[in-house]
Amino acid sequence: MTVKTCILVAKWGIAAGLVAALATSANNSAAQDFYKGKRVTLLIGYAPGGGYDTYARTFARHFPKHIPGAPSIIVKNQPGAGSMKVANYLFNSAPKDGREIAAVGREIPTATLLKTKNANFRSDRFNWIGSLASGVSYCIAWHSVPITKATDLFEKQFIVGGTTGRSPTVVVPLILNNLLNAKVKLISGYPGGAAMHLAMERNEIQGRCAVTTSSLNSSRPDWIRDKKIRFLLEVSVADKRTMPNVPRVIEFAKTDDEKRTLEVLLAHDQWHRPLIAPPDVPAQRVEILRRGFDATVQDAAYEKDIERQKLGFGAMKGAEMERRIQRLQATPENIVQAAMEVQTSTARTEMSKAVVPIEKATGKITKVEKGGRRVSFAAGSKKGKLRVSSSGTKVTIGGNAAKRSALKAGMSCQFAFQGSAAKTIVCK
């Protein structure tokens, strides 16, 4: 090769590198500009009022400012089958451009591994943005019921509430009965945590399993403070107890296989509040969402908001979630099969359906909070606090459809509600 040829080759190499660098720069710039002037939709796979809803809405208040272009954000509740409905939608139907994300149940990351019914998605193909909290959950009992300690679960019938599908409130009672021979009766079909809490207060159920302290602090802060509930069992495979006097469920496992089965079933301790994007979203946009997540959970304003609501921390980055989910896929098949049977078989569990009536009251709004998302009312001797959903509550003022933000203290209204979830609010 001549000197002249070498020079030409060198020049072409430099030029090619420059073109590649410019192309990469242009792609990065396009990715950075993608969200400018756009709107992100955050779907919540549960009804208003519970822990998932509270965490997601808190996150949504701070997230947009950490995304280049500062997009607007809209939050919608899309409950169904323990968030399976929204997970299926995100995987199969949602736009794959990064403008729709979702807050899903902590069991979704292992749904594929455990071949969960109606899970029409691959958990390991979602783009995991991160988890807003981690920790342990508990079985709790109302203070007046004759269930006072963990061993009572194996000696007496314990009546708990659950939602639907494969949510932890449904699955944990099955695990306890099938693997450890507990005597838990399950009443399923409650629309969310708020409805179950109301059922406990009304003595319709004795307690619930798979509830976190952060969820209790956000929805019923007086329960722990005033000892209205008892913590019976830590539904966890952690190395040590979180509460000294509350045993871990793994302490009741008798064999190594039982312990390994519990480790698969309770992997969700690692990620209590997952956020996901659909598969096939361009990698640069996924990275933007993950960086936005990381910045949000470290934002002092977000931390203050979390502390104000007495919620828990323990965020996990999306890349770490992805790594752990991929590792779970390597679980031996015999353990997977055992876990699948344990979490689905109802042969050992007495079950019934919850009947959650729609109640009506006529009175006045006494307080409006969070832009209309919470409304307190007084109707004669009856008082209450309702969760108002942008998608699940029909608001009418003066005969015209209205947004919840238009609700004001002092308005005379007719309220229809199921548990603490408002269905309709008709005001003069």
pLDDT in tens, 52-92: 999 999 999 999 999 999 999 999 999 998 899 999 999 99
Strongest mean pLDDT among 85-94, 157-166, 189-198:
85-94
Which residues are 397's β-sheet partners?
A: 400, 427
113-117, 199-203, 313-317, 345-349: range with lowest mean pLDDT: 113-117
Q: Give 226's pLDDT tier (boundaries 50, 70, 90).
A: very high
CATH classification for the domain delimited by 137-268+346-353, as one of 1.10.260.40, 1.10.3720.10, 3.40.190.10, 3.40.50.1820: 3.40.190.10
Give the pLDDT score at 11. 55
Q: Is the pLDDT of residue 397 over 50?
A: yes
Quick check: 98 and 90 in contact, CB under 8 A? no
Confidence at 419, pLDDT banded by 50, 70, 90: confident
- pLDDT confidence of residue 21: 46
Per cent of the chain over pLDDT 90 is 72
Residue 368, pLDDT above cutoff 80: yes
Check residue 47 and give its pLDDT: 85
Q: pLDDT at position 281, please? A: 98
Dist CA 290 CA 171 (whole Å)? 30
CB neighbour list of residue 10: distance below 8 Å, 6 or more residues apart: none
Q: Is a pLDDT exceeding 90 seen at residue 6? A: no
Domain ranges of the chain: 137-268+346-353, 358-427
Confidence of residue 24 (pLDDT cuts 50, 70, 90): very low
> Average pLDDT in the 42-48 region?
93
Report the DSSP beta bridge partners of residue 368.
Answer: 375
Q: How confident is the model at residue 28 (pLDDT cuts 50, 70, 90)?
A: low
The structure tokens 């353990």 sit at 335
What's residue 193's pLDDT? 85
Confidence of residue 375 (pLDDT cuts 50, 70, 90): very high
Provide the CATH topology of domain 358-427: OB fold (Dihydrolipoamide Acetyltransferase, E2P) (2.40.50)
pLDDT tens, 333-346?
Answer: 999 999 999 999 99
pLDDT at 30 over 70: no
Same fold, 137-268+346-353 and 358-427: no
Q: Is the pLDDT of residue 272 over 90?
A: no
Question: How far is Cα 349 from Cα 338, in angstroms, rounded to an integer?
Answer: 17
Q: Where are the alpha helices (DSSP H) in 34-124?
A: 51-62, 84-92
Give residue 17's pLDDT: 53
Q: Would you say residue 141 has pLDDT above 50? A: yes
- Alpha carbon distances (Å) from 425 to 218, 376, 397: 24, 12, 8
CA 54 to mean position of chain CA atoms: 9
Length of the chain: 428
Whole-number Cα distances in Å, 367 to 251, 364, 384, 414, 420: 46, 9, 10, 15, 15
Confidence of residue 10 (pLDDT cuts 50, 70, 90): low
CB 141 within 8 A of CB 172: no
- Helix, strand, or coil (residue 401): strand
Mean pLDDT along residues 355-364: 90
| pLDDT category of residue 168 using cuts at 50, 70 and 90 | confident
pTM for the predicted model, two decimal places: 0.65
94, two tokens: 């949602």
Q: What span, in angstroms and rounded, lies between the C-alpha atoms of 148 and 156?
A: 11
Instruction: Please give the mean pLDDT across all residues of the chain.
Output: 90
CB-hemisphere CA count at 13 Å for 293? 29
Is 9's pLDDT higher than 60? no
Alpha-carbon distance of 411 to 428, in angstroms, equals: 7
- Report the pLDDT averaged over residues 156-179: 94
Element (H, E) at 222: helix 221-225
